[in-house]
């Protein structure tokens, strides 16, 4: 049995890695074509473009890992079926559950690797890629509104015209309100950078409003500061959401940003769905193992290796589409984040278990 395990590990792991390299090459080629439109803008040359494409590879690796597991196992089991190796194994007393146990251990290994890549390597490389591209093209971080970025910070509303790739802020307006929602102060700073757990603002103009009930008229005063400190709950890591899509952020950064939104009574459905998807998505490698296992035991007249690989590609594409559709539907319809994230995986797990039952009963 040990020899059989080693054989499965060697063959399946090699084919999964081979398929993964092929998929990454295809996605990198598409990225290269897409970046050609920005070539020559600012200082964005061939070297910068190639670095951007290379830094995008870990993010693609995280996305396509379950599909690579599915196709790698389908191809391996199809080849074994063509060579009658699976028939020999079954007649030698190796049950379907024994083979499934070996494959699930392989799938679990790739699930752990996928999770580690999605938590450690992909978010950092994606952020670096976006920063390099923005700096080379002399651009700024994209904003949701023409007026810039708007953030709620406790009783204050903060408007930042420009966020630089190093998380420095340009043209900052801070509107402070009291408990009665009356405007207390408007602060404008030309620049700001994070230093020693607070923001250092430069060239700051403050306009203060006195709301004393003893005064019939509201008094207004202003002051100018060359340098001042601003204590805020906003942290540079929270601004990573401007550089990296929620689906490519780490689970910890997503959790921190969700907590920030909750403290400010803001809606966080999209980020909650992204967080649950981040935790559940690596388990898709195990689901793909269950889905791929029946292909090795289908009769040869039902299709050769090419037919099985085509079916595997189709299932992988449908899974990715269904995953994205449920994420967007969950955000639009305010569904439970857990339901939106786990539904496609459960659907395909049910399909895989049904196919296994059919193969075992056949």
Per-residue confidence in pLDDT tens, the chain, 362 aa:
678 889 999 999 999 999 999 999 999 999 999 998 888 888 888 998 999 999 999 999 999 999 999 999 988 988 888 888 887 887 888 888 888 889 999 999 999 999 999 999 999 998 888 888 877 876 655 555 667 788 888 788 888 888 776 778 888 999 998 887 888 899 999 999 888 788 999 999 999 887 665 555 667 888 899 999 988 877 776 676 666 778 888 888 888 888 878 887 778 888 899 999 999 999 999 999 998 888 777 655 445 677 777 888 888 889 989 988 998 888 888 889 999 999 999 999 998 888 888 777 76
Using the structure block, give the residue that is written with the tokens 């030309």: 190
Say which DSSP state 244 is in: S
104 and 208 both lie in a single domain? no
C-alpha span between 295 and 290 (Å, rounded): 10
**Does 275 map to a domain?**
yes
Last residue of a domain, one of 185, 214, 234: 234
68 and 114 both lie in a single domain? yes
**Does 244 map to a domain?**
no
Sheet of strand 219-230: strand arrangement = 149-153, 156-163, 169-177, 183-195, 198-210, 219-230
The domain in which residue 206 lies consists of: 149-234
The Cα angle at residue 272 between residues 271 and 275, in degrees rounded to 5: 85
**Does 248 map to a domain?**
no
Residue 182 contacts residue 206 (beta carbons within 8 Å) = no
132 and 200 both lie in a single domain? no
Last residue of a domain, one of 186, 212, 234: 234
301 and 180 both lie in a single domain? no
**Does 254 map to a domain?**
no
Crossing angle of helices 305-333 and 57-82, rounded to 10°: 140
pLDDT at 301: 47
287 and 327 both lie in a single domain? yes
Beta-bridge mates of residue 200: 193, 229
350 and 291 both lie in a single domain? yes
pLDDT at 127: 85
109 and 60 both lie in a single domain? yes
**Number of domains comprising the chain:** 2
**pTM (2 d.p.):** 0.78
127 and 222 both lie in a single domain? no
Residue 352 contacts residue 294 (beta carbons within 8 Å) = yes
- From the list 142, 194, 146, 196, the residue with the least C-alpha distance to 166 is 194
**Does 240 map to a domain?**
no
Residue 147 contacts residue 161 (beta carbons within 8 Å) = yes
């Amino acid at each position: 049995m040990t020899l059989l395990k080693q054989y499965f590990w060697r063959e399946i792991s090699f084919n999964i890695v081979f398929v993964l390299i092929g998929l990454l090459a295809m996605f990198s080629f598409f990225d290269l074509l897409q970046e050609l439109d920005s070539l020559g803008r600012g200082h964005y040359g061939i070297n910068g473009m190639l670095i951007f494409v290379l830094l995008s590879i870990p993010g693609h690796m995280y996305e396509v890992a379950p599909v690579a597991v599915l196709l790698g196992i389908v191809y391996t089991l199809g080849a074994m079926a063509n060579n009658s190796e699976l028939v020999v194994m079954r007649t030698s007393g190796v049950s379907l559950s024994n083979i499934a146990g070996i494959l699930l251990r392989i799938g679990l290994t790739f699930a752990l690797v996928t999770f580690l890549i999605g938590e450690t390597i992909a978010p950092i490389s994606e952020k670096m890629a976006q920063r390099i591209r923005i700096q080379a093209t002399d651009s700024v971080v994209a904003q949701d509104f023409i007026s810039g970025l708007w953030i709620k910070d406790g009783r204050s509303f903060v408007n930042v015209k420009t966020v630089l790739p190093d998380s420095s802020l340009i043209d900052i307006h801070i509107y402070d309100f009291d408990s009665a929602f009356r405007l207390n102060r408007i602060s404008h700073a030309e620049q700001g950078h994070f230093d020693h757990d607070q923001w250092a603002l430069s060239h700051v103009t403050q306009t203060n409003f006195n709301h004393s009930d003893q005064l019939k008229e509201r008094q207004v005063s202003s002051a100018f500061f060359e340098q001042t400190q601003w204590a805020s709950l906003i942290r540079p890591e929270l601004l990573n959401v401007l550089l990296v899509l929620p689906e490519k952020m780490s689970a910890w950064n997503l959790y921190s940003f969700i907590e920030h939104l909750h403290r400010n009574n803001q809606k966080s459905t999209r980020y909650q769905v992204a967080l649950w998807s981040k935790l559940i998505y690596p388990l898709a490698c195990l689901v793909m193992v269950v889905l791929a296992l029946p292909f090795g035991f289908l009769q040869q007249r039902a299709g050769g290796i090419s037919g099985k690989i085509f079916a595997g590609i189709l299932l992988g594409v449908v899974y990715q589409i269904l995953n994205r559709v449920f994420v967007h539907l969950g955000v639009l319809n305010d569904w439970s984040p857990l339901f939106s994230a786990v539904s496609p995986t459960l659907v395909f797990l049910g399909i895989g278990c049904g196919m296994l039952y059919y193969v075992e009963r056949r």
